[in-house]
Structure 1
């Protein structure tokens, strides 16, 4: 007896502290990350996978499979059903980005494509318009394209964008709130409230991924401000390079139908393109 309970009865804390052995006494030899990848891969040939079949395939207990399915279900990578799981939505195995890569690393990724996307997006901005610029590397590239103009009113929660645009001739308004480092985005209720009293002709939103269920971002805090921009906009334009097709992250910003235009560097895959077309999203592929 330890702390009022028999020593041979394992609590949840015991199991978490000793992940090599599950609650049914079986030794778990397959690392969790590998199990998750093999579970997702199983949907390539099956619409439904059972707990029993996964346990046999992976050589682990049913309890371990249930925990894995519950976790993957919370991430939106599958849908739990009685006795197993089914694939989530039209994209059977979207990639989930759990951690936000460093800003400098993201700047180097798809740099040429982002420059082309920014040039195409800049052409959508008419003279005298009020424009919202969100955070992200594609948005920073757009700010570089817009910086020489002197006929715009720019609202942003992006400190990098505000400094770049302020060197130009257009009027720049920075939202108030808390600064999130290292993104240098302004977040919090003050930033959200600050947008409610304005109407913006166009807002440009950066995302970390898109699938048939909507657009995603790494940060829940940035996502709140993105939604506020969208709620204040006449037209919502998402900048998203093709490497982000079929990817998900922690926070879903909005479903597809809330976006007016998607500017990208390559045509989306057929299932995603069908969803975008169904919801009236105009797709612009940068040259």
Structure 2
């Protein structure tokens, strides 16, 4: 962690100019991936409010990312805009099919499933096609259409259709999920790092969280191209997921964070 600033009188720590203090705050990220407001206030002998102003100023400059209670290193590989669905479906297509197959293997007879929107969750729906011994509730019109065409019992949420993703969103969608118990919720994500799971859409993220809150088990489907990335909306911390199904072992920082969060990693 950052050493306290040097000063002549050890009894009265020197008050640094804001610009120098902010430079030293940035230096702290060379030794730590998370810095708290309380820690910085103690080191620089200033109030928590002063540190909050410093962090807000650095955040506005894109030099770090403010969080509740502190800050994170600046995002180096964040994708804010949602690529087209068909384009995303072609990316890592083989890995997504492999992940979907592993997810389908978790589904037992008589289970009620929540299937989120996304390209990997659509691949999962395709692996479950023609199964009549399960019930599926989904926020994806693509998944619903596929399953209904193969006589799998499937239910869609009430709510507004978000185009071109063809997902169902809004307060009614969230309420629809709350009225069901799910044995497993399968969640698609756009990005994953040691701080959580991410998606492009805040609207879809709300529905994802509803699925997660109403399921006995939460399974995230995420191919390795999404590791060490962030997207616009943080869906949840790692601890809200029980199982991560992926195609390769995550980098050590993510793997360690998943282990601390007690998330089972399944490499398909």
> Does the alignment reach a TM-score above 0.5?
yes
Secondary structure in 2 aligned to 1:135? Answer: coil
Matched, 1:213 2:203: no
Q: What residue in structure 2 maps to residue 224 of structure 1? A: 206
Q: What residue in structure 2 maps to residue 123 of structure 1? A: 105
Aligned residues: 220
Q: What residue in structure 2 maps to residue 112 of structure 1? A: 94
Q: CA distance change for structure 1 residues 190 and 79 in 2, over 3 Å: closer, same or farther?
A: closer
Secondary structure in 2 aligned to 1:246? Answer: coil
Matched, 1:256 2:256: no
Within the candidate set 254, 264, 267, 1:282 is matched to 264
How far is the alpha carbon of 1:94 from its aligned partner? Answer: 4.6
**Cα distance per residue 1:168-201 (max 9 Å; x no partner):** 2321101011000000000001110111111100
8 Å Cα contact 1:143/1:165 also seen in 2: yes
Q: What residue in structure 2 maps to residue 169 of structure 1? A: 151
**Structure-2 separation of matches of 1:93 and 1:186:** 29
RMSD: 2.5
Matched, 1:241 2:231: no
**Structure-1 separation of matches of 2:139 and 2:72:** 37
8 Å Cα contact 1:94/1:246 also seen in 2: no
Matched, 1:99 2:81: yes
**Structure-1 separation of matches of 2:66 and 2:221:** 29
* Stretches of structure 1 lacking an aligned partner (at least 5 in a row): 1-41, 49-65
**Cα distance per residue 1:149-168 (max 9 Å; x no partner):** 11110000100000000012
**Cα distance per residue 1:129-164 (max 9 Å; x no partner):** 000000000000000000121111000010000000
8 Å Cα contact 2:191/2:230 also seen in 1: yes
Matched, 1:272 2:236: no
**Structure-2 separation of matches of 1:277 and 1:161:** 31
